[in-house]
Chains A and B, each alone.
Chain A
Amino acid sequence: MDPFEVSAAGLSAMRMRVNVIAANIANAETTRTADGGPYKRKDVVVTAREEKASFESALDEMSMAKPEVAAVVEDNTPPRLVYQPGHPDANPEGFVAYPNINVVQSMTDLMTATRLYQANVSAAKALGEMAREAQRIAGS
């Protein structure tokens, strides 16, 4: 398996997570959607697709794996109810349903995803430098 492909898969999984978190933060106050009701928090489900490097290692228990975004799921926890009788989306009791999004938690998730994205870049860069060093042997 090409290690750079593994790194690229890690990058795209992390980018997907950043995109979803950004959408969540942007819609933290969205009370009306096309599906009706408030915006629902979305989350990325990442799975590992194992690939064996060679026939010999196919017999091994441990193997490398490529992360893949399996699905983007909606958080179905009940919305946050705020008493705002004047709001056009208020229910008969005067409560408005806001998305169940914790902005502080979303921000920390965002930072983690960003750092992991950078870690993937460093890892790919390190392996790239190693490959270049091998080329230098041929050049000397």
Chain B
Amino acid sequence: MSIIDKMFNQETPGFEKAMDLTWRRGQAIISNVANAETPRYRAVDLDFGSELKQAFQAQESDLKTTSENHFDTVSNNASHLTADLSGATKADGNNVDIDVQMGKLHRNQAQYMQAATILRQQLRIIMSAIRGASV
């Protein structure tokens, strides 16, 4: 459970985790773009689906915490980078396809923005409950 879930005793279904993962994926993409012409560099990526699934499974297990109010450490673990095999390997051993990376960059950014927008709306709903609907 995330801090927001703990504070308001409700489930914000993984939007924080989604933001965290898309941020890390953005880092992987930035590394690929920066090394588009570096000999022997291998493109990296983050398996978004399996990482998110893992985060949810970590949430479900009760083994890690002894109390409902404890923060678990499992879901905050650093995610692991995987090989990105979307591009063909060039003669210098580099397999970055710059066009694929730029596409990924913008899709990843859009996903992050969506998660952030939904999270912001949820917080706004909570805020209106605190302040009252008259605002």
Contact = CB atoms under 8 A, between A and B. Distances in A.
Interface in B60-89: 77-78, 80-83
Chain B at the A interface: SS class: helix
B18 interface: no
A63 B31 CA distance: 9
A99 B57 CA distance: 64
Interface bracket on B: 35 or more
Given A3-B26, A53-B78, A122-B105, A65 B31 contact: yes
Contact of B36 (A116, A127, A133): A116
A64 B44 CA distance: 7
Contacts of B119: 137
A57 to B, nearest CB: 5
A3 B9 CA distance: 34
The 8 closest A-B pairs by CB, nearest first: A10-B34, A64-B31, A56-B78, A54-B78, A3-B27, A62-B81, A123-B33, A48-B41
Given A54-B78, A119-B102, 5 more contacts: A10-B35, A56-B80, A64-B27, A127-B26, A130-B23
Interface of A: 1, 3, 6-7, 9-11, 13-14, 17, 46-48, 53-57, 60-67, 112-113, 115-116, 119-120, 122-124, 126-127, 129-130, 133-134, 136-137, 140
